[in-house]
Structures are given as structure tokens and as C-alpha cells.
Amino acid sequence: MTLQRHDTQTRMSRAVIYNGVAYLCGQVAGPEVRQGSINEQTNSMLSRLDALLEEIGSDREHLLSATIYLKNGSDIAAMNEIWDAWVPEGHAPARTCVVAQMPAEELKVEITVTAAIKNS
């Protein structure tokens, strides 16, 4: 069993893979939509998550768990609409959604996931 760190920086790695499971750092919207709506930020965040999953050899169908952090609880319906369309039918991960303070004032949503690596 080997431990792999992906794109390690001073405070964190973008992903840590151990025993066929990837633990991803929190993903937020890209800078181009950080002033945007919850819909824009959720779409951007999930697009960035797709890219990171692909980089490490996983995808949406291999999600194990997700924790979604919302700045405002009133945004849950809008976020869920996008989330529901993004998750492949029959592949919903275990999920928690909480209201939390964001690392930057303009952010409305952040997600942290664990995923199985394909073919592990």
C-alpha cells in the first residue's frame, strides 16, 4: 500500500491517495465567477472537481462521500438542482451539507470529496 500526494504545497495537497481511495482538498469556484450567483459558483466548483478527479484517475461514478459547505442555507435548493443534474443516476455518494463560514467573503459554496480510484 503506497501513499501518493498530488500537487503538494506548503499547507496541503490537492489530493492524497491511499489504498485505492482519493481524499481531495476543498474545491471552490474559479476566480472568474467568484462574484457570481450560487448557480455560477456551483457549476464552476463541480467543473473544477471533474478536472481534479480526472487528473487522479477517478470520476463522478466513483465518488464515495461528499461534504458540501454553503455560506447561506437559503442556497441549498439552487445548489441541489445543479448537484442532482451533475451526479450520475445511481451513483450518489454519502453526502453531508452544512452552513459554514467560507475561506473568502465572496465564496458561496465549497465541496470536499473522497473517491475511489478507477481500476483499483
CA distance 35 to 49: 19
When the candidates are 3.90.550.10, 3.30.1180.20, 3.10.310.30, 3.30.1330.40, the CATH number that belongs to 3-116 is 3.30.1330.40
Name the DSSP letter for residue 2.
-
- Other CB atoms within 10 Å distance of the CB of residue 39: 16
pLDDT tens-digit series, residues 9-52:
999 999 999 999 999 999 999 999 999 999 999 999 999 999 99
Instruction: Return phi, psi of residue 7, to 5°.
Output: 55, 60
C-alpha cell at 47: 467543473
C-alpha cell at 19: 489504498
Q: Which letter, b or e, does each residue of 72-84 get, where b requires 16 or more Cβ atoms within 10 Å of its Cβ? A: eeebbebbeebbe
- Block residue for cell numbers 465564496: 107
pLDDT tens-digit series, residues 79-115:
999 999 999 999 999 999 999 999 999 999 999 999 9
Task: Give domain limits for the chain.
Answer: 3-116
